[in-house]
Chain A
Amino acid sequence: MAEQEIFAHFFECWLGQLDRDLQALLAADVPSLDPQHQPHGDANSNEHQLRSLVDMVKGHYEYYHRAKSASARRDVLAIFSPAWASSTEKLFLWAGGWRPSAAFQILYSESGRPVEPCPVQGVLRDDDDLGGLSASQLERVDGLQRRTIESEKKISEEEAEAQELVAWPQMVEISHEITVSGREVAAMEEGLVGAKEAMRRVLERADQLRLETIESVVGILNPRRAVQFLAAAGKLLLRVHEFGKAVDAAAAVMADGIESERRRQWTV
């Protein structure tokens, strides 16, 4: 089986896992801001439960990235042109995956979502006030965001360097000479080895940053917020995937329709 298909299969399985994780996150016994709806059992054991749930989900992201990395080592081309992703998802790809800094947008979007209670009341609690972020948490999130964006920019630079290898003198030379003979195709392949390896390293660094970002964001948040953050992120990934697939399917049906119509006209 080609690497494309192997990873596509894995990806489908992983989405299933993501969905199960999402259900678990949504079902989690999250302490509410409403004193009427507090979790059963004592707060400590509840926090412990939430933490282990968060760790489990984090583990699944790690697992996904390990598999992706292994796949890239076998065939980097497949990972950079993912047949398993919809056109909509591809629109948002950065260095072979989602952008790490999107995590902060999710966090900020999520923090604005609860209907604002009167912001003047009860605002001074350090734990669960607006957006659930305490002053020190927001400070750490802001610092992490700046460092993450810096890293993203560095990786983008590396990607640019790797992609410019396509016009390396050796490659340009080959392109002048190329015919369809086997020798030159082999030379072209040879010439691309360096670029492909450079892109694989870019992917590795980008995946590393993606994982670190999840890890760090979740590390800053309290368990309750960490669960909500992972649920929001999972929901977004799944919904965009489903939506993208549906859009692609509809486009395919339309293309098929046009094609069969054309055939019908030809045969008439």
Chain B
Amino acid sequence: MAGICFEVEASAPAVSCEPRPRTATARRRRMEIRRFRFIAGAVSEAPDEEFNRKRRRLDCFVSPPGVLQKGFGSEEEGAGEGKVLESNLNGRSSSPGLPGARSFESDRCPRYGVTSVCGRRRDMEDAVSVRPDFLRRFSGTWNRCHFFGVFDGHGCSHVAASCKDLMHELVAEEVERVRPGPPPSAEEWREVMERSFSRMDAAVARWGGAPQNASCRCEMQTPKCDHVGSTAVVAVVGTNHIVVANCGDSRAVLSRNGVPIPLSSDHKPDRPDELERIQAAGGRVIYWDGARVLGVLAMSRAIGDSYLKPYVTSDPEVTVTEREEGDECLILASDGLWDVVTNKMACDIARKCLSAPPAEGGSGSNKACSDAAMLLTKLALARQSADNVSVLVIDLRRNS
């Protein structure tokens, strides 16, 4: 498990991106992380080369705004307060992140906390990725953006692990490709995310079969293991906006003025528009311990799972949300949390933790984010969540 809390200035040296360990088990964890990185580094080069794309997909699936909006507002009356910019923005003026838009004073990485535990499962298949200032190598003042991702693997851990290692790089490359100069508009962010997810999906489909890490269980399935996949919920937090791209049943929820606003909508096979899409593609949804695509997979979109293509797609749904003064925090978590804790309860608890007075001798609200993540995790375990639980809490308050 990683229990992390820290704050990184955008200008901080690269090394401070590494979670600063605070516990007795820190050394072991650090070694695990290093091993991971090293192997991942070796792997990520080959796909990158291969990635030089023949042709980029532009015909991305966008779910009907009506359905999307309904999904967002379903949990809480009045959740419509959350202004989710839809794809058909025509005026630049409403694009978040443009210079001249209302700008907040600080573009440092928000404080955040992560907890990720095995819980009642025998295998850990969740992965969490945090990459402060991940667009650093592209100069410019607009692009102090911070990448957060939660990936919940199934079948094995290696697709989720690959997403953790690679996704932010793909997003960074796509941002550069789309718009080397000024910040991307909402529509451009959507394209960036759709291409990144598509490339990520291609990368894991091409994955040769050699186990990447010790926890990978795929030795027996070489040369190809296409029964493995992962959800991906990715948030890019910029000075003025939050871009969330989601594929699968992990979720991002924003707490704004005390109200939970889902920034993603779970991809379940029985969601009416998803059901329609699957059936239109010639697939079937079979109810076998819940709704499952072809009776197998309990989510309708995922990275990987090439044997269920095209019914299961890796196209993300993307939302671009302008940051507001009333934003308190953003929670990204795997379904290990959301299965047993409502959006509202998660936001209430996170807010409560964030507003707690700094502990004596502690680093104040720095620790508050990890307290929130930890507490939500414990609540999920106490409520008998049957899955791995990964929770990422990001503090969005401006004057904290």
- Using CB atoms and an 8 Å cutoff, list the residues of chain A in contact with chain B: 101, 104-105, 108-109, 111-112, 116, 119-120, 123-124, 129-131, 133, 135-136, 138-140, 142-143, 145-146, 149
Contact = CB atoms under 8 A, between A and B. Distances in A.
Contact of B25 (A109, A124, A140): A140
Given A129-B375, A131-B378, A138-B117, A143 B353 contact: no
Contacts of A111: 378, 381-382
Nearest to B386: A108
Contacts, number: 75
A257 B351 CA distance: 66
B369 to A, nearest CB: 12
A145 B378 CA distance: 15
Interface in B353-400: 353, 356, 359, 370-371, 374-375, 377-379, 381-384
B349 A131 contact: no
Majority-rule SS of A interface residues: helix
B120 A142 contact: no
A138 B1 CA distance: 9
Nearest to A105: B120
B18 interface: no
Pick from B353, B356, B379 the residue with the most CB of A within 10 Å: B379
A192 B35 CA distance: 42
Interface residues of B, number: 31
Contacts of A109: 384
A143 B1 contact: yes
B352 interface: yes
B122 A119 contact: no
A124 B23 CA distance: 18
B122 A149 contact: yes
B353 A123 contact: yes
Contact of B371 (A101, A124, A140): A124
A123 B375 contact: yes
Contact of A112 (B348, B370, B381): B381
B124 A108 contact: no
A136 B371 CA distance: 11
Contact of A120 (B123, B348, B374, B378): B348
Contacts of A136: 3, 23-24
A135 B370 CA distance: 9
Given A109-B384, A124-B375, A138-B117, 15 more contacts: A104-B120, A108-B384, A111-B378, A112-B382, A112-B383, A119-B379, A120-B348, A120-B352, A123-B352, A131-B382, A136-B3, A136-B23, A138-B378, A142-B117, A149-B123
